[in-house]
Amino acid sequence: MQNVLLGISKLGKNFGGVTALTALDLDVERNRILGLIGPNGSGKTTFFNVVTGIYPATSGRVAFEGGDITNFSPQKVYRAGVARTFQRSRLLLPLSVMDNIILGDHNQLENGLFFNLFRRRALASQYREIREKSRDLISIFDPELADRIFEPAVNLPMISRRRIEICRALISNPKLLLLDEPSAGMTREETFRFVDDILQIKDKIEDLTIIIIEHEMSVMERITDYCAVLNFGQKICEGTYREVASDEEVQQAYLGVD
């Protein structure tokens, strides 16, 4: 299909005798937001880790923009146009907001000894460019936070830290963004504001596809175009949020039944 950005075919992942993913088929449509739902241990984060090259696939195929990226290294997946965040914050809290964002694009920066010592004008130009790019990204979320770009991340609340992590993923101009429980650690009010942030990103950044893992169902209901539900490493349902939420098998596996 021409509109499929990420195509998953018969994807499997075993850890010794434990099966985390079983013959998973999933088409991720370009420029849409897919929600990945499932109970703990259902294979959601494992799926992210296999797609991004952290874990090798045991079987099956991962295709991105029609090309096979199965078992690419994380660096090659990143260069192909896939970026992600993680469940637990990976910010370097003593570093500034800008330093943390820049780390997301370090592979694209000239940082060799010769460049730093002998091409000072080019170095200064590169610094100005990445500084403005970082400021522009953070401004999408919060213009006031953009004014604090040189402050240590440790001074900021959780919602601001999560915003920085997403900016760090976006700095490389990915076509596919994977968000792994981005609202973790936030208050209900922060979560509501954060959903607005993501929708704003989607509106302002062209050609961006998002897959989000999230346990807060109010987030999934507001943010997603469609959802896929995993249980024991298998896809058990796919459709709009309302369709999957009303599915009996999904209710038994995840949402609970009376």
247 and 185 both lie in a single domain: yes
Rounded mean pLDDT of 75-87? Answer: 94
2 and 71 both lie in a single domain: yes
Strand, helix or coil for residue 113:
helix
Share of the chain above pLDDT 90, in %: 61
Spatial CA neighbour of 227 closest among 216, 236, 209, 240 = 240
What count of other Cβ atoms lies within 10 Å of the Cβ of residue 110? 11
pTM > 0.85: yes or no: yes
Predicted confidence band of residue 164 (pLDDT cuts 50, 70, 90):
very high
Domain end call among 171, 193, 218 = 171
H helical segments located in the chain: 44-51, 74-80, 97-102, 113-118, 120-141, 143-146, 158-170, 188-204, 217-223, 241-245, 248-250
Rounded mean pLDDT of 240-248? Answer: 92
pLDDT digits 0-9 by tens, 169-216: 999 899 999 999 998 888 889 998 889 999 999 999 989 999 999 988
Whether 86 maps to a domain, the answer reads no
Whether 250 maps to a domain, the answer reads yes
Q: What is the CATH number of the domain that holds 238?
A: 3.40.50.300
pLDDT > 90? residue 228: yes
Average pLDDT along the chain = 88
Range(s) of the domain holding residue 74 = 1-81+174-258
Tokens coding 63 = 């295709």
What count of other Cβ atoms lies within 10 Å of the Cβ of residue 120? 10
257 and 178 both lie in a single domain: yes
pLDDT > 60? residue 255: no
Give how far the C-alpha of residue 149 lies from the chain's centroid of Cα atoms, to the nearest Å: 22
Residue 114: what pLDDT?
47
pLDDT digits 0-9 by tens, 117-148: 556 566 566 667 778 888 998 998 888 888 89
Lowest mean pLDDT among 97-101, 120-124, 149-153, 218-222: 120-124
Share of the chain above pLDDT 70, in %: 89
Whether 88 maps to a domain, the answer reads no
- CA dihedral for 39, 61, 86, 15, sign (positive or negative): positive
pLDDT > 80? residue 77: yes
Whether 87 maps to a domain, the answer reads no
Predicted confidence band of residue 102 (pLDDT cuts 50, 70, 90):
confident
Predicted confidence band of residue 103 (pLDDT cuts 50, 70, 90):
confident
185 and 167 both lie in a single domain: no
Total domain count, the chain = 2
Spatial CA neighbour of 212 closest among 238, 183, 191, 188 = 183
Measured distance CA(65)–CA(138) in Å, rounded: 28
pLDDT > 70? residue 107: no
Q: Residue 203 in contact with residue 236, Cβ under 8 Å?
A: no
